[in-house]
Protein backbone atom coordinates (compact mmCIF):
# COMPACT_ATOMS: atom_id res chain seq x y z
CA UNK A 1 0.00 0.00 0.00
CA UNK A 2 1.53 3.33 -1.04
CA UNK A 3 1.69 6.31 1.32
CA UNK A 4 -1.20 8.12 -0.35
CA UNK A 5 -3.40 5.17 0.59
CA UNK A 6 -1.78 4.09 3.86
CA UNK A 7 -2.73 7.34 5.59
CA UNK A 8 -6.36 6.14 5.29
CA UNK A 9 -5.61 2.62 6.61
CA UNK A 10 -7.49 3.25 9.88
CA UNK A 11 -10.47 4.92 8.20
CA UNK A 12 -13.02 2.54 9.74
CA UNK A 13 -12.12 3.98 13.16
CA UNK A 14 -12.87 7.57 12.15
CA UNK A 15 -14.77 8.00 8.88
CA UNK A 16 -18.46 7.47 8.23
CA UNK A 17 -20.26 7.44 4.92
CA UNK A 18 -21.68 10.88 4.02
CA UNK A 19 -24.71 9.16 2.50
CA UNK A 20 -25.73 6.53 5.09
CA UNK A 21 -23.36 7.26 8.04
CA UNK A 22 -22.04 3.68 8.17
CA UNK A 23 -18.34 3.05 8.77
CA UNK A 24 -16.02 3.22 5.79
CA UNK A 25 -12.96 1.07 5.20
CA UNK A 26 -10.24 1.20 2.60
CA UNK A 27 -10.59 -1.27 -0.27
CA UNK A 28 -8.17 -0.93 -3.13
CA UNK A 29 -8.00 2.77 -3.99
CA UNK A 30 -11.32 3.70 -2.38
CA UNK A 31 -13.20 4.20 0.86
CA UNK A 32 -16.30 1.99 0.84
CA UNK A 33 -19.12 1.51 3.35
CA UNK A 34 -21.04 -1.74 3.83
CA UNK A 35 -23.86 -0.42 1.66
CA UNK A 36 -21.46 -0.09 -1.25
CA UNK A 37 -21.15 3.68 -1.35
CA UNK A 38 -17.71 4.22 -2.84
CA UNK A 39 -15.38 7.24 -2.76
CA UNK A 40 -12.09 7.09 -4.63
CA UNK A 41 -8.83 8.22 -3.08
CA UNK A 42 -7.09 10.63 -5.45
CA UNK A 43 -3.59 9.90 -6.68
CA UNK A 44 -2.61 13.05 -4.78
CA UNK A 45 -3.76 11.52 -1.50
CA UNK A 46 -7.17 13.01 -0.69
CA UNK A 47 -10.74 11.73 -0.88
CA UNK A 48 -13.72 13.73 -2.13
CA UNK A 49 -16.64 13.10 0.26
CA UNK A 50 -18.67 16.07 -0.93
CA UNK A 51 -22.19 15.23 -2.08
CA UNK A 52 -23.46 16.79 -5.29
CA UNK A 53 -26.12 18.80 -3.48
CA UNK A 54 -23.54 20.60 -1.31
CA UNK A 55 -22.85 24.35 -1.71
CA UNK A 56 -19.99 25.67 -3.83
CA UNK A 57 -17.06 27.74 -2.64
CA UNK A 58 -16.34 31.30 -3.80
CA UNK A 59 -12.56 30.85 -3.57
CA UNK A 60 -10.47 30.26 -6.70
CA UNK A 61 -7.30 28.23 -7.19
CA UNK A 62 -5.42 31.50 -7.68
CA UNK A 63 -6.62 32.72 -4.30
CA UNK A 64 -5.42 29.53 -2.61
CA UNK A 65 -2.06 29.73 -4.41
CA UNK A 66 -1.58 33.28 -3.11
CA UNK A 67 -2.65 32.23 0.37
CA UNK A 68 -0.08 29.43 0.27
CA UNK A 69 2.67 31.91 -0.58
CA UNK A 70 1.67 34.33 2.18
CA UNK A 71 1.54 31.61 4.83
CA UNK A 72 4.83 30.08 3.71
CA UNK A 73 6.43 33.53 4.01
CA UNK A 74 5.66 33.21 7.74
CA UNK A 75 3.28 36.14 7.96
CA UNK A 76 0.83 34.24 10.17
CA UNK A 77 3.39 32.39 12.26
CA UNK A 78 2.24 34.27 15.36
CA UNK A 79 -1.08 32.40 15.03
CA UNK A 80 0.56 29.07 14.24
CA UNK A 81 2.90 29.25 17.24
CA UNK A 82 0.05 29.91 19.66
CA UNK A 83 -1.90 26.90 18.39
CA UNK A 84 1.14 24.61 18.48
CA UNK A 85 1.92 25.73 22.03
CA UNK A 86 -1.59 24.81 23.19
CA UNK A 87 -1.55 21.42 21.46
CA UNK A 88 1.94 20.59 22.72
CA UNK A 89 0.92 21.49 26.28
CA UNK A 90 -2.23 19.31 26.11
CA UNK A 91 -1.26 15.61 25.86
CA UNK A 92 -4.91 14.48 25.82
CA UNK A 93 -5.18 15.88 22.29
CA UNK A 94 -4.39 13.13 19.79
CA UNK A 95 -6.91 13.45 16.96
CA UNK A 96 -7.25 16.95 15.47
CA UNK A 97 -9.62 18.23 12.79
CA UNK A 98 -8.80 21.39 10.83
CA UNK A 99 -12.06 22.69 9.36
CA UNK A 100 -12.03 24.91 6.28
CA UNK A 101 -8.31 24.21 6.05
CA UNK A 102 -7.79 25.90 2.67
CA UNK A 103 -4.44 24.94 1.17
CA UNK A 104 -3.49 23.11 4.37
CA UNK A 105 -0.67 25.20 5.85
CA UNK A 106 -1.72 24.88 9.49
CA UNK A 107 -2.55 21.17 9.25
CA UNK A 108 0.82 20.36 7.68
CA UNK A 109 2.81 22.43 10.15
CA UNK A 110 0.98 21.06 13.18
CA UNK A 111 1.43 17.46 12.03
CA UNK A 112 5.13 17.96 11.40
CA UNK A 113 5.80 19.62 14.74
CA UNK A 114 3.48 17.71 17.08
CA UNK A 115 3.14 14.27 15.42
CA UNK A 116 -0.59 14.26 16.16
CA UNK A 117 -3.19 12.51 14.01
CA UNK A 118 -4.45 15.28 11.72
CA UNK A 119 -7.63 15.37 9.64
CA UNK A 120 -8.28 18.38 7.40
CA UNK A 121 -11.02 19.33 4.97
CA UNK A 122 -12.25 22.15 2.82
CA UNK A 123 -15.26 22.73 0.60
CA UNK A 124 -12.91 23.48 -2.30
CA UNK A 125 -11.46 20.50 -4.17
CA UNK A 126 -8.82 22.82 -5.65
CA UNK A 127 -7.65 23.80 -2.15
CA UNK A 128 -7.42 20.20 -0.96
CA UNK A 129 -5.54 19.19 -4.09
CA UNK A 130 -2.96 21.90 -3.36
CA UNK A 131 -2.83 20.78 0.29
CA UNK A 132 -2.25 17.13 -0.52
CA UNK A 133 0.43 17.93 -3.11
CA UNK A 134 2.31 20.04 -0.55
CA UNK A 135 2.09 17.31 2.11
CA UNK A 136 5.51 15.74 1.54
CA UNK A 137 5.18 13.51 4.61
CA UNK A 138 1.85 12.16 3.31
CA UNK A 139 0.60 12.10 6.89
CA UNK A 140 -2.51 14.31 6.97
CA UNK A 141 -5.88 12.79 6.08
CA UNK A 142 -7.18 15.31 3.50
CA UNK A 143 -10.78 15.28 2.32
CA UNK A 144 -13.36 17.48 0.61
CA UNK A 145 -16.67 17.95 2.38
CA UNK A 146 -19.31 20.37 3.64
CA UNK A 147 -19.08 21.96 7.09
CA UNK A 148 -22.69 21.08 7.92
CA UNK A 149 -22.25 17.32 7.46
CA UNK A 150 -18.71 16.24 8.29
CA UNK A 151 -18.25 12.51 7.54
CA UNK A 152 -16.43 11.63 10.77
CA UNK A 153 -17.78 9.55 13.64
CA UNK A 154 -19.32 10.89 16.82
CA UNK A 155 -16.73 11.61 19.50
CA UNK A 156 -13.80 10.83 17.23
CA UNK A 157 -11.89 14.13 17.56
CA UNK A 158 -10.08 15.59 20.57
CA UNK A 159 -9.62 19.07 19.13
CA UNK A 160 -11.22 21.07 16.32
CA UNK A 161 -9.32 23.95 14.75
CA UNK A 162 -11.44 26.69 13.18
CA UNK A 163 -8.91 29.19 11.84
CA UNK A 164 -10.43 32.24 10.11
CA UNK A 165 -13.29 29.98 8.95
CA UNK A 166 -17.05 29.62 9.50
CA UNK A 167 -18.18 27.36 12.33
CA UNK A 168 -20.93 24.80 12.89
CA UNK A 169 -20.95 24.36 16.65
CA UNK A 170 -23.61 21.66 16.84
CA UNK A 171 -21.63 19.57 14.38
CA UNK A 172 -18.43 20.27 16.32
CA UNK A 173 -20.11 19.05 19.50
CA UNK A 174 -21.08 15.78 17.81
CA UNK A 175 -17.52 15.18 16.65
CA UNK A 176 -15.67 16.01 19.86
CA UNK A 177 -14.68 13.46 22.48
CA UNK A 178 -15.56 14.20 26.12
CA UNK A 179 -13.41 17.10 27.33
CA UNK A 180 -12.46 17.94 23.74
CA UNK A 181 -11.52 21.46 22.63
CA UNK A 182 -12.53 23.94 19.97
CA UNK A 183 -9.80 26.41 18.98
CA UNK A 184 -11.26 29.31 17.03
CA UNK A 185 -9.12 32.05 15.51
CA UNK A 186 -10.82 35.30 14.50
CA UNK A 187 -9.44 38.65 13.28
CA UNK A 188 -9.47 41.64 15.60
CA UNK A 189 -10.39 45.17 14.56
CA UNK A 190 -6.67 45.89 14.10
CA UNK A 191 -6.08 43.00 11.73
CA UNK A 192 -4.92 44.33 8.33
CA UNK A 193 -5.70 47.85 9.50
CA UNK A 194 -3.34 49.29 6.88
CA UNK A 195 -5.46 47.75 4.12
CA UNK A 196 -8.71 48.76 5.81
CA UNK A 197 -7.56 52.37 5.93
CA UNK A 198 -6.88 52.41 2.19
CA UNK A 199 -10.23 50.91 1.16
CA UNK A 200 -12.47 52.05 4.00
CA UNK A 201 -14.91 53.84 1.71
CA UNK A 202 -15.45 50.63 -0.28
CA UNK A 203 -16.05 48.24 2.62
CA UNK A 204 -19.52 47.08 3.60
CA UNK A 205 -18.40 46.93 7.23
CA UNK A 206 -15.62 49.52 7.70
CA UNK A 207 -15.89 49.50 11.51
CA UNK A 208 -15.29 45.79 12.05
CA UNK A 209 -15.71 44.20 15.48
CA UNK A 210 -15.42 40.50 16.31
CA UNK A 211 -17.64 40.65 19.40
CA UNK A 212 -20.69 39.14 17.68
CA UNK A 213 -18.53 36.17 16.65
CA UNK A 214 -17.27 35.81 20.22
CA UNK A 215 -20.83 35.96 21.57
CA UNK A 216 -21.90 33.23 19.16
CA UNK A 217 -18.94 31.10 20.24
CA UNK A 218 -19.86 31.57 23.90
CA UNK A 219 -23.48 30.66 23.21
CA UNK A 220 -22.31 27.07 22.65
CA UNK A 221 -19.02 26.74 24.51
CA UNK A 222 -17.41 27.69 27.79
CA UNK A 223 -14.41 29.88 26.99
CA UNK A 224 -11.35 28.68 28.90
CA UNK A 225 -8.93 31.04 27.17
CA UNK A 226 -9.00 34.15 25.00
CA UNK A 227 -5.67 35.58 23.95
CA UNK A 228 -4.76 38.23 21.38
CA UNK A 229 -1.70 37.54 19.25
CA UNK A 230 -0.17 40.28 17.13
CA UNK A 231 2.73 40.95 14.79
CA UNK A 232 3.80 43.56 12.26
CA UNK A 233 5.16 42.07 9.04
CA UNK A 234 7.17 43.82 6.35
CA UNK A 235 6.09 43.39 2.72
CA UNK A 236 8.13 43.07 -0.44
CA UNK A 237 6.38 44.12 -3.66
CA UNK A 238 5.75 40.45 -4.49
CA UNK A 239 4.34 39.71 -1.05
CA UNK A 240 2.16 42.81 -1.23
CA UNK A 241 0.53 41.67 -4.47
CA UNK A 242 0.05 38.12 -3.18
CA UNK A 243 -1.67 39.48 -0.09
CA UNK A 244 -3.92 41.81 -2.06
CA UNK A 245 -5.02 38.91 -4.26
CA UNK A 246 -5.47 36.55 -1.32
CA UNK A 247 -7.37 38.40 1.38
CA UNK A 248 -11.19 38.03 1.45
CA UNK A 249 -11.32 41.61 2.75
CA UNK A 250 -10.83 42.80 -0.84
CA UNK A 251 -13.01 40.30 -2.68
CA UNK A 252 -15.66 42.97 -3.34
CA UNK A 253 -13.26 45.88 -3.86
CA UNK A 254 -11.95 47.19 -7.19
CA UNK A 255 -8.32 46.59 -6.31
CA UNK A 256 -6.94 48.30 -9.43
CA UNK A 257 -8.38 51.63 -8.27
CA UNK A 258 -6.14 51.73 -5.20
CA UNK A 259 -2.52 52.87 -5.07
CA UNK A 260 -0.87 50.05 -3.16
CA UNK A 261 2.73 51.23 -3.48
CA UNK A 262 2.80 52.78 -0.01
CA UNK A 263 1.65 49.52 1.61
CA UNK A 264 4.99 48.38 3.05
CA UNK A 265 3.88 46.57 6.20
CA UNK A 266 0.80 44.94 7.70
CA UNK A 267 -0.60 44.29 11.15
CA UNK A 268 -1.51 40.64 11.72
CA UNK A 269 -3.70 40.39 14.81
CA UNK A 270 -6.16 37.75 15.95
CA UNK A 271 -8.03 36.52 18.99
CA UNK A 272 -7.42 32.85 19.75
CA UNK A 273 -10.43 31.42 21.59
CA UNK A 274 -10.26 28.02 23.27
CA UNK A 275 -13.52 26.51 24.43
CA UNK A 276 -15.12 23.32 25.72
CA UNK A 277 -18.70 22.06 25.68
Annotated binding-site members for S-adenosyl-L-methionine: 76, 103-104, 191
> Which of 135, 63, 65 is closest to 106 using CA atoms?
135
**Which phi and psi (to 5°) does residue 78 adopt?**
-65, -35
Residues tagged in the binding site annotation for Zn(2+): 17, 20, 33, 37
The H or E element containing residue 99 is strand 95-99
| CB-based burial, 68-88: b 16+ in 10 Å, e otherwise | bbbbebebbbbbbebbbebbe
Minimal CA–CA distance to 180: which of 196, 165, 160? 160
Distance CA 158, CA 180 (A): 5
Binding-site residues, please? 17, 20, 33, 37, 76, 103-104, 191
**Cα 100 to Cα 185: distance, rounded to the nearest angstrom:** 12
Amino acid sequence: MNNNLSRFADSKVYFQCPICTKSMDIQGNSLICRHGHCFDISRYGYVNLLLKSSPKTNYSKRSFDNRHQILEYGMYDVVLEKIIQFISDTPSIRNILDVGCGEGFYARQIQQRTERNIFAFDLSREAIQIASKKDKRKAVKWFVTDLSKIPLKDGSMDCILDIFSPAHYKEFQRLLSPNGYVVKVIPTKNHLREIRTKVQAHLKNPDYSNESVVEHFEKYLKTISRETVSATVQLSSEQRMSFIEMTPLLFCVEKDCVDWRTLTHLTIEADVLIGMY
